[in-house]
Structure 1
Amino acid sequence: MATHQDEPDAQAACRRGSTRQAPAGHTQKKARASRIDLFFLDECGFSPTQPTGYSWSPRGQRRLVPYEAPMRRRVNALGAYRPVGELPTLRFRVYSRTLVSGDIITFLKTLPSGVRPCVVVLDNVGIHVSKEVQRARPLLNRLGLSLFFLPAYAPELNEVEAVFGVIKSYELPERSYATLPELMTAVRRAFRRYRRRLNRRR
């Protein structure tokens, strides 16, 4: 199974037949009109101790955040964000191991509604463009799902990146977790909390 390592031949094959730019205006219009489901997909990693930008403590006292070593205790999440349409939504899965191409394929299969076509925007990391993903594309197409690959080094074009930033900065109030199960629970809770807030904004 393919991992995060790049596969140049697979990347080239996946890019053939795909438009390597931001989703065009007509695609966005179709999504807003609920003629298609437009998802932005990527992965995000969480360490037992999250970066601390700022905090509060009583005057004259230093706020200390305990450090937990990340070895074999990182959590990885797959997220697919649909910002427009009938309802904005966030789909996710959380893993206590390194992600592989099979995880991407299994997750992609859950996205099509069966009601309208589904377009998934993603970058060119190795597990997205692996031979395994290439082989799965005909099946995904039959399910009504097509892949839209972004240019290299353009994370700003993937709208799920901003979602990950909010989840890491605001939805994980505790910045250190002593055990892997604690971190797994916290990450799942953070994604659910963001999804509830997303739905309340409509």
Structure 2
Amino acid sequence: MSTFLDIIENLSDVSLWAMDETGKRLESDNYYSWSPIGQPTLIERNGAKKGVNIIGATEVLKHFDFVYDQYINDENHDGSIGSIKVIQFLEKLLDYDAQRGISKTIVILDNAGFHRAKAVQKFVREYEERLTLIFLPVYSPELNPQENIWNWMKKFMAAASAFTIIEEISNKVKEFQTYIRENTTKVKQLVFARNYYK
């Protein structure tokens, strides 16, 4: 993989992205808990299923930008992420790269079923000159740099007071995108491909 990185790092028209999905619920994140002496930990939850599902990718070799789509999940919207949304997001990455003069987009991702779906495979074949997917070994989230971005995002969001409506979550994700675009040095520390793939 190191040789592969050597090659593509010096090509101005190639980008390397790490992609993954996550979600944020109206349910608060409990980073702290308490328990009476000698009793189990007490964690309060409201059981809310409402929230936002997010598919995102960070460029992990050269420019360290972050691109995402989010989908509302509530009684009126099915925000689940499947193969169709994966294809739409890959199209978004291709368009984003094309606007920057990138002719080859390489995406690192895990083995989720909807990543390997027939519709996704067909899409990749149609764009094989512009798009390559690299699948990580099974059960190896530690090899996906995007996990670090999600952890950072959730900490960023936890600094705010509890969310009461879904739009607050959506707005906070937008704020996070702006924030990390202003902090590319930290992004590089978290996702730089050479720290992951030797």
Distance in 2 (alpha carbons) for counterparts of 1:200 and 1:163: 10
TM-score (norm 1): 0.73
Instruction: Compute the displacement of 1:200 (Å).
Output: 8.4
Instruction: Indicate the residue corresponding to 2:90 in structure 1.
Output: 108
| CA deviation profile, 1:145-196 (whole Å, cap 9, x unmatched) | 1111111100011111111111111344225211112222222222332232
Distance in 2 (alpha carbons) for counterparts of 1:170 and 1:193: 9
Distance in 2 (alpha carbons) for counterparts of 1:162 and 1:102: 25
Q: 1:163 pairs with 131, 141, 149, which one? A: 149
Of stretches 150-159 and 163-172 in structure 1, the one that deviates more from structure 2 is 163-172
TM-score (norm 2): 0.74
Instruction: Confirm or deny that 1:98 pairs with 2:80.
Output: yes
Query: Which ranges of structure 2 fall in alignment gaps of 5 or more residues?
Result: 33-43, 73-78, 189-198
Distance in 2 (alpha carbons) for counterparts of 1:178 and 1:30: 48
Q: Go from structure 1 to structure 2 and tell me whether the alpha carbon gap of 1:68 and 1:197 turns closer, same or farther (over 3 Å shift).
A: farther
Q: Go from structure 1 to structure 2 and tell me whether the alpha carbon gap of 1:110 and 1:199 turns closer, same or farther (over 3 Å shift).
A: farther
Instruction: Indicate the residue corresponding to 2:112 in structure 1.
Output: 125
Instruction: Indicate the residue corresponding to 2:122 in structure 1.
Output: 135
Q: Identity, % of aligned pairs?
A: 24
Q: How does 1:145-156 map to 2 (within 5 A)?
A: 145-156=131-142
RMSD: 2.5
Distance in 2 (alpha carbons) for counterparts of 1:31 and 1:49: 42
8 Å Cα contact 1:167/1:194 also seen in 2: no
Aligned residues: 167
Q: Go from structure 1 to structure 2 and tell me whether the alpha carbon gap of 1:41 and 1:201 turns closer, same or farther (over 3 Å shift).
A: closer
| CA deviation profile, 1:120-152 (whole Å, cap 9, x unmatched) | 01011011011111221212214x011111111
Secondary structure in structure 2 of the residue aligned to 1:37: strand
Secondary structure in structure 2 of the residue aligned to 1:110: helix
Of stretches 117-126 and 174-183 in structure 1, the one that deviates more from structure 2 is 174-183
Q: 2:22 pairs with 23, 32, 44, which one? A: 44
Secondary structure in structure 2 of the residue aligned to 1:53: coil
Instruction: Compute the displacement of 1:27 (Å).
Output: 2.4
Secondary structure in structure 2 of the residue aligned to 1:141: coil
Instruction: Compute the displacement of 1:44 (Å).
Output: 0.9
Return the letter of the residue paired with 1:127.
Answer: F
8 Å Cα contact 1:40/1:160 also seen in 2: yes
Return the letter of the residue paired with 1:28.
Answer: L
Return the letter of the residue paired with 1:38.
Answer: L
